[in-house]
Structures are given as structure tokens and as C-alpha cells.
Amino acid sequence: MKNFFKALILSIFFISFQYNTNAAEKVEYLKTDWSFKGLFGKFDRGALQRGYQVYTEVCSSCHSMKYLSYRNLAEKGGPEFTEAQAKAIAASFEVKDGPNADGDMFTRPGKLSDKFIMPYENVQAAQAANGGAYPPDMSVLVKARGGGVDYIYSLLQGYEDPPVGVTLDDGVYYNKYMYGNKIKMANQLSDGLVEYNDGTSATVEQMSKDVTTFLMWAAEPHLESRHRMGFKAIVYLIILTVLVYFSMKRIWSRIETKI
């Protein structure tokens, strides 16, 4: 029995030590106002369209978004490009299709029904082009990383020179928000890197926020409808509670109290 209690105490101490160590090492992420947060949160359409532009011009050369189709860009609750704009975006990409009547593969302009074009033919090609590291698919990246949007937003702005005493291998970069502070992706953003179609100033902070907003929508395309449904459910429950209260009050008012 004594050995059991000793083991229990040591286990509690070890878990407590690990928790305190992890808490001490936890980095405070950068904060910003997200329009989609809260019960009434909605996506900023301008931010979504700018975020798609950043993804296309900066990220899509390495990162795929295999769960998105070009038609999603025109759907309600998303970037809400017009159908003509979405068709033009899809047609700007070459899609491998086939086989044709002769059994040959061919390329054609993209259509709304096509999935986003993959930057590499397969995983091995992606790893070979990136020093052995596989660029993760961005479709649900926000949900797959602890910290969510705050983590992605901070990571894009977290590149800096390594502290004294920290050495990095070739092709590895220091990022204060990355787990372990070492990342194989070089800093991809710089002020003025893209020219926004709506004239917004393309600072690193603005591009980080826009592309993160776009990634949040990609991971949660029905977020706005869920918020609306949640609000309706709350209103319904409030009304139901009031009705039940007055019904019970009326029922009990008919019962005479015995003194």
C-alpha cells in the first residue's frame, strides 16, 4: 500500500511538473480582431477575396487545397465572387483530363466543378521539391493546428534572426511561433508582395490576416449558417422557457394551498 501511494504521489508530481513546464514554454500568439468570431460573427467578403489572392499568388505553388472546388468561390457564405468571376478564375488554370476517344490524356481550361489545382503530381514530388519536407494541404489547416487562426496569423509574422547560441541547418529558418522554433518554409511575405485588386495596402500584417481568414472559411465554409442556426435556437429556447414558466404558473395557481 505504501508503494502504491509513493507511486501515486510521484505520478502527480511528474504530471504537475510537465504541465508547468509546458505552460512556461507556451508562446502568446499575436491578437487581432476576427470578424467571424462570436455568435453574430460573419466573414469579411473583402478579406476572403484578398485572402484567395494571397493564396493563389504566394501559397498555391507549394500548398494544395484539395477539398475546395472553384464553384465554392461563388457560393453564399464564402468569398462570393460572381459566377462569371468564378468561371474566369477556373478557366485561368489548366486541368489534366481524359482519356479522350483515342485513349490519350489532354489538358483543358478549368471549370467550376473542378477541384483546386494541385501544385505537385504526388507526395514524393512535393517532398523532393522542398528538401524532404511535405507542404501540408491548407484545406483544414486551421483546424489541424493548435491555436487555430491565431497560430497561423502569428506564424506568418514570426520570422526573425535566431537568438545567440541557436544554430540552424541549411534550409531551416527561425520562427518564434513555430513549435520548436524551427521551420523549413522560408518567409513568404513581404510588404507590397501582391497588388490587391481592391487597392488595399498589402502589408505583411494585412496579407497574414487576409489569407488566414480565407483558410478559416475553407475549414468552416458553413460557419455563418451555423451561427444563424445557433441564434435561432437560443431565441426558440428563450420563448419556450417563458411559455413553460407561465403555463406552470397558471396550472399551479388553480391548486389551493392547504394551511
> What tens digit of pLDDT does each residue of 1-22 get?
545 444 444 444 444 444 443 4
Per-residue confidence band for 251, with pLDDT thresholds at 50, 70 and 90: confident
pLDDT tens, position by position, 197-245: 999 999 999 999 999 999 999 999 988 777 677 767 787 788 888 888 8
Grid cell 464553384 in the structure block, residue: 71
Residue 131 clears pLDDT 90, i.e. is over it: no
Provide φ and ψ at 67, rounded to 5°: -95, 0
Q: Is the pLDDT of residue 29 over 80?
A: yes
Return the amino acid letter for 200: T
| pTM of the full structure | 0.81
> CA 205, CA 32: separation in Å to the nearest integer?
10
User: In the structure, what pLDDT confidence band is assigned to residue 258 with cuts at 50, 70 and 90?
Assistant: low
DSSP state of 59: I
- Alpha carbon of 94 to those of 71, 97, 177, 256: distances in Å? 16, 9, 36, 81
